[in-house]
């Protein structure tokens, strides 16, 4: 039975017309391919799935919005917002960075959401969004799946230089692991890589940002997916042991993180080995200078899962390093023993989730949370997936700028998450009037904004879909600047005094997932 049909049949009659208006799934220039889950082996499994999804829909449909969109003068809104900055002023948090980095698990900072913490969450969310915005999705391109920019100008091109970080390393991941191929490969026979993907990057705060936040902060950003209807089909997989003890994690996530092949150009070392080598180098570099160093790992969707694996490894191998994870729309990753080991290692995790987003329910959509109570007592359910850390729960109904109705892609979009974080005050308040982030960004890859704003949906794409008119009047694919062509053999000198990092290898990847 098709997923949409199962949902439809379990809705109340008054809600079914809304299902008929479900938007088609689009990408940025990001093509989405959405399939229905396979037939389940038992009717009980189908019944449980539909019951859970129906419950989710009731959560979305039954409760009235807390903000009245009819009270907004949309003409005045446009005039006022266009003349205001898109970011809040930076506060010096050097004396409070331990709280911002979760020394107390963000107690008393989430509800209400502390102004300083809100800005830090958005900062790391923008680092995760950069992995989508710089991604080459064009299946007609010989560089399909690579990062469109070299690491020296990634933040400058995407307008993120204001955050005060420099990229020091790109991360690769294998594309032939046992996971679905959601993004069509390049149509060209000759392409830059057939085995690997650009999966993210490592960066580090510059001197000015380091003074503001009170320590040298290393950031790792992992790329993810935004095709939520795929998760049920592809992530009901076995748990696999990791590290020591009884900790287990989802097989597919671990494969992405650890796979490598000596015959490939970009993955002779795994994503795990690449990121840990660079993080270790940076920690040693700045500790030798007498600086305090932290590691903050971020990611959306699949990227949030990889961030947890990365945090687990970093905390296990680098002594006395404060490690935090700020994830968005991330699925469950491992069992209860994995959660407990992360806690014992001192890893601090903040999960930002949207109430209507189904991906954080997975793997193990139906059970898990209710079974955790039994496992905490008996200690026998090693196969139960569980979430880790503190949770900041958002609701699409709190924003007057977001459409009502069902939109799986929009619910899971990272830009929707960042919009809601910017407007969140506490669980009982309406969307804050002082929110600065540009609302138009929400529609980059979906159709979530109310029509009154007149913002086109899925507007984020290359002009003329990447074609340019040459001197002869012919529309052609442009040649990439040599500095932006991925090459594992091209060595780059990172001319950043704050890094003093010497020579790095240019690392760029091919797509593992659609976005």
Give the catalytic positions in this structure: 301, 357, 412
Angle CA 477–482–483, to nearest 5: 125
User: Angle, nearest 10°, between helix axes 302-317 and 271-288?
Assistant: 50
Contact yes or no for 511/183 (Cβ under 8 A): yes
In a 3-state reduction of DSSP, which class is residue 143? coil
How does strand 385-386 pair with strand 334-335?
antiparallel
Closest CA to 144 of 428, 480, 401: 480
User: Phi, psi at residue 285, to the nearest 5°?
Assistant: -60, -50
User: Phi, psi at residue 81, to the nearest 5°?
Assistant: -70, -35
Alpha helices in 173-237 (DSSP H): 207-213, 231-234
3-state secondary structure 488-502: CCCEEECCCCCCCCC
Instruction: Give the CA dihedral 177, 179, 180, 186, nearest 10 degrees.
Output: -20
How does strand 468-469 pair with strand 475-476?
antiparallel
């Amino acid at each position: 039975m098709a997923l949409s049909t199962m949902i439809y049949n379990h809705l109340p009659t008054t809600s079914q017309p809304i299902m008929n208006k479900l938007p088609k799934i689009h990408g940025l220039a990001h093509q989405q391919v959405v399939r229905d889950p396979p037939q389940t082996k038992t009717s009980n499994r189908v019944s449980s799935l539909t019951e859970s999804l129906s419950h989710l829909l009731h959560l979305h449909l039954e409760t009235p919005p807390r903000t009245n969109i009819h009270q907004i003068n949309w003409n005045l809104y446009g005039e006022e917002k266009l003349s205001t900055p898109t970011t809040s002023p930076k506060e010096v948090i050097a004396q409070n960075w331990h709280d911002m980095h979760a020394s107390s698990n963000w107690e008393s900072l989430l509800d209400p959401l502390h102004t300083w913490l809100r800005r830090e969450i958005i900062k790391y969310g923008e680092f995760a969004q950069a992995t989508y915005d710089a991604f080459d999705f064009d299946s007609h391109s010989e560089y399909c799946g690579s990062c469109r920019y070299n690491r020296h100008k990634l933040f400058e091109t995407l307008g993120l230089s204001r955050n005060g970080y420099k990229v020091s390393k790109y991360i690769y991941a294998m594309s032939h692991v046992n996971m679905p191929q959601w993004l069509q490969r390049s149509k060209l026979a000759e392409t830059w890589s057939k085995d690997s993907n650009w999966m993210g990057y490592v960066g580090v705060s510059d001197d000015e940002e380091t003074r503001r936040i009170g320590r040298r902060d290393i950031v790792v950003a992992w790329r993810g997916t935004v095709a939520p209807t795929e998760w049920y089909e592809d992530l009901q997989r076995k748990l696999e042991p990791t590290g020591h003890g009884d900790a287990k994690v989802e097989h597919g996530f671990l494969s992405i993180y650890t796979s490598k092949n000596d015959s490939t150009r970009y993955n002779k070392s795994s994503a795990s080995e690449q990121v840990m080598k660079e993080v270790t180098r940076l920690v040693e570099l700045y500790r030798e200078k007498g600086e305090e160093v932290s590691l903050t790992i971020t990611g959306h969707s699949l990227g949030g899962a990889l961030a947890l694996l990365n945090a687990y490894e970093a905390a296990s191998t680098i002594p006395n390093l404060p490690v935090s994870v700020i994830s968005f729309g991330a699925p469950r990753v491992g069992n209860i023993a994995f959660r407990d080991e992360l806690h014992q290692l001192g890893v601090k995790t903040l999960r930002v989730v949207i109430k209507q987003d189904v991906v954080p329910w997975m793997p193990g959509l139906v059970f898990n949370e209710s079974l955790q109570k039994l496992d905490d007592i008996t200690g026998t359910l090693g196969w139960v997936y569980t979430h880790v850390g503190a949770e900041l729960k958002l609701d699409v109904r709190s924003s007057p700028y977001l459409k009502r109705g069902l939109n799986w892609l929009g619910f899971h979009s990272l830009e929707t998450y960042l919009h809601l974080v910017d407007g969140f005050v506490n669980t009982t308040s309406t969307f804050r009037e002082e929110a600065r982030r540009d609302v138009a960004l929400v529609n980059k890859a979906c159709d979530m904004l109310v029509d009154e704003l007149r913002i086109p949906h899925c507007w984020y794409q290359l002009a003329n879909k990447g074609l340019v008119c040459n001197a002869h009047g012919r529309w052609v694919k442009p040649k990439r600047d040599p500095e932006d062509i991925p090459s594992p053999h091209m060595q780059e000198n990172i001319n950043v005094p704050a890094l003093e990092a010497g020579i790095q290898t240019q690392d760029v990847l091919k797509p593992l997932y659609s976005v």
